[in-house]
Every structure is written in structure tokens, then in C-alpha cells.
Amino acid sequence: MALKSLSPGRGVNSHGLNGREVKSRGGNGRDRAERRVAFRMTAPSLVLMALVAAVPIGYALWLSLNQYSVRTAGLSRFVGLENYITALSGPHWWAAFGQTFLFAGLSVSLELVLGTAMALLLNLAFKGRALLRTVVLLPYAVVTVVSAITWETMFAPNLGLVTNVLSTLGLPGGDVVWLGEHGYAMAVIVLADVWKTTPFAALIILAGLQVISAETYEAAELDGASKWQAFVNVTLPLLRPAIVLAAIFRTMDALRVFDLPFVLTRGANGTESMSMLAYTQLRENRLVGEGSALSILTFLTVMAVSVVYIRFAGGNIREVAKEEQ
């Protein structure tokens, strides 16, 4: 890492955190003192995260192997993989699994395309660019539940903005009960997600765009490339790391989706996500064992996808890891 440049100053630093003399074994003593401080400064965060992330997940694993029902006063019985078998052999998990990936696929691809377009727009020099940047950032500040409620009211039958305008103009869709049918409900959920989080993708891609040097474009210009050719052959390949980064964050988030379907449809019309299904079994049906199994399955799915992403972007990652050291 960038620590090399610290060395001239570090020569003086032969004291530990409390000013104790550190035994100096060659050059290592200083390093050791620094490492000890570093460890002490990082430990509180690590301990907290370990306690609150690892312990519950371990406990969830245990719960998922038990028949545990709050309804029967917490009666617990070890059943092995029964909960998993129930979940995996029933239709609910696979339906939720499919819907979550459908949602993630649709919303992330839309967000990447729109985000790239938005980033290109924000990268242009024009009067009003600052205003545009502020405006596109506003949805980010809106609580997701509020954004879900807003889109719900916009697509409400007869009295929503969208349904109203469509039926006034005599266009199809004005008399559709948008949240009452699977395809339409999914479209509204995707739209609400795209509205709120495209700015996030756009900002990451914009940061990537601003790293591309002007010389690269000049070279392309000299070679007689058209604007479109320059975009496809120069901008897009150089933008790939930023787009992959945005894709990773957005996909991880989309696979965890909960509040949008919760508010918009309560999971009706086949819009239940993996997280929602686990929540429903746990809180509404009080099936702690099966709910835990479902939450573990959700966790494993998200982890698996992140591993695939790392494989997919493997070249980048090795390069970057080297840089990081």
C-alpha cells in the first residue's frame, strides 16, 4: 500500500500506544509497534461486526436445523436438513428465487444502461450541468418506503398520475390495475428501483469516465474515429471496471430487495422476493426453523453471486489487489 512514503517519519516512532518502549529487533520493532496500534484501532469494529454478523448467522444455521415454533411456546426439536428439504421441494422458494433474479436482472441492466447514459450526460460541459447533477441525486435521499408509496399512488387505478394521463390521452394502460397483475406489478417495482438507484450507478460510472485521459480520445480522433466508434472502442472498454463495480453493488442490493415489494404488493401476484419469503415464514407464519433455513438460502445465494462476480471480474481484481498491497 502507500505506506512506503511513511517510512522517513516512522523512524522516530519507536513507542507503542502508551509510550512504552518497544523492543527493537532490527527494523521490525517499529513495524511491530505500528501493527499493534493498527490492530487495536481496528479491533473494536471487527469484534462488533463479528458478534453481530457471524454469531447470528451461526445461530440461524442452528435454528434452521430445528423444528422451532413460537406458536408452540418455542418447542425445539432437532430435525437435520428437514427445513431445507421442505423449502427446496416446495414451490415458494423457487418462485421467490426466480422473481428475485428477474427483478435483479431487469433493474440492474436498466440501471447500468441508464446510469451510463446519465454519466455521459453529466460529463458534458453545458450550462445547467450542476443543476442536473443535483436533480438526479434527489431520489437517493428518498426513503425507499416513501418511494414505493409514491409509485404506488402514481399507478393507482383512476386516481394515479400515470393511469390518469394514460386514460385521458386514450392510451392503453389507463384502465389497468397495475399492482394487481404479475407483469405490471413487476414493472412498477422495477421502475421504483430504477428511479431511486440509477443515480448511484451513474455516479460510479461518472467517476470512471473522468479517469479516462483526454489523450486517449485525441488518439482516437487522429485515427479518424467517429464519436460512436470512439464511444464503443475507447470509452466502453475503459469504463468496464467502473460498470462492473456498479453492477456488483447494484446486484447485491437488488438480490436483497425487500421494502419495494413489501410496500407495493405485500408479495402478492408473484412478486415475493427471497428476503420477503423468509420474513413471511418467520414473522407472519411463525415458522422459525423454516424461516431461518430460507434466510440461510438467501444468504448463500447472494454469496454465490458475489463469488461469480469476482471470478468474472477476476483480472481486474488481481491487478487491484496488487495495487492495494
Partner 1 sequence: MSTLTAQRTTAAPAARGGAPKRRSPRRRLRGEAKLHPVVWVFVFAVMGFSLIPFYWLVNTSLKQGVSLSKGELFPSQPTFENYLAVFQNPEFLLALRNSVIIAVVTTTVALVFASFAAYALARLKMRRKAMILTLILSVTTFPAIAIAAPMFSIWREIGLYDTLLGLIIPKLTFALPLAIYTLTSFFKEIPRELEESAYMDGATPFMAFRKVILPLAVPGLATTAILVFISVWNEFLLAVTLTTSPEARPVPVAIAFFSGTSEFDQPLGTISAASVIITVPLVILVLLCQKRIVSGMTAGAVKG
List, in order, residues 6 or more apart from 52 with CB less than 8 Å away: none
CA distances from 71 to 30, 74, 84, 144, 162 (A): 59, 7, 20, 32, 44
Q: How far is the CB of 89 from partner 1 (least distance, A)?
A: 20
Closer CB to partner 1, residue 236 or residue 310? 310
* 211 binds partner 1, rule: CB under 8 A: yes
Interacting span for partner 1 (CB under 8 A) from 84-92, 169-177, 182-190, 216-224: 216-224
DSSP state of 68: E
- Is residue 266 left, alpha or beta, with left meaning phi > 0 and alpha meaning psi from -120 to 50? left
C-alpha cell at 245: 463495480
**91-150 positions binding partner 1, by CB under 8 A:** 117-118, 121, 123-126, 128, 132-147, 149-150
232 binds partner 1 (CB under 8 A): no
Minimum CB–partner distance for residue 59 and partner 1 (Å): 4
Nearer to partner 1, 88 or 142 (CB): 142
State the nearest-atom distance from the C-beta of 270 to partner 1, in Å: 19
Q: Which stretch binds partner 1 (CB under 8 A): 85-93, 104-112, 179-187, 251-259?
A: 251-259
Nearer to partner 1, 42 or 109 (CB): 42
| Residues 167-196 close enough to bind partner 1 by CB under 8 A | 195
Element (H, E) at 259: helix 259-264
From 86-94, 102-110, 181-189, 317-325, span contacting partner 1 (CB under 8 A): 317-325
Distance of CA 174 to the CA centre of its chain: 33
What secondary structure letter does DSSP report for 208?
H
Please name which of 288, 239, 260, 310 lies closest in space to residue 73, comparing C-alpha atoms.
Answer: 288
Smallest gap from residue 163 Cβ to partner 1 (A): 8
Residue of 9, 26, 91, 170 interacting with partner 1 (CB under 8 A): 9
Enumerate residues 15-74 that contact partner 1 by CB under 8 A: 15-17, 19, 31, 33-35, 37-39, 41-42, 44-46, 48-49, 52-53, 56-57, 59-60, 63, 68
Q: Measured from the CB atom, is 162 or 186 closer to partner 1?
A: 162
- Identify whether the C-beta of residue 179 lies closer than 8 Å to the C-beta of residue 152: yes
Strands (E), 46-192: 66-69, 75-78
Minimum separation from the CB atom of position 281 to partner 1 (A):
9
Cell of 269: 401476484
Q: At a CB cut-off of 8 Å and minimum separation 6, what does 94 contact?
A: 88
Report how far apart the first and last C-alpha atoms of the chain are (Å, whole number): 4
Site string for partner 1, 271-290 (x = CB under 8 A): ---xx--xx--xx----x--
Binding segment for partner 1 (CB under 8 A), chosen from 11-19, 81-89, 105-113, 172-180, is: 11-19
Sign of torsion over alpha carbons 272, 277, 283, 286: positive
All 3 cell numbers of residue 6?
Answer: 511513511
Which of 109, 153, 229, 233 is close enough to bind partner 1 by CB under 8 A?
153
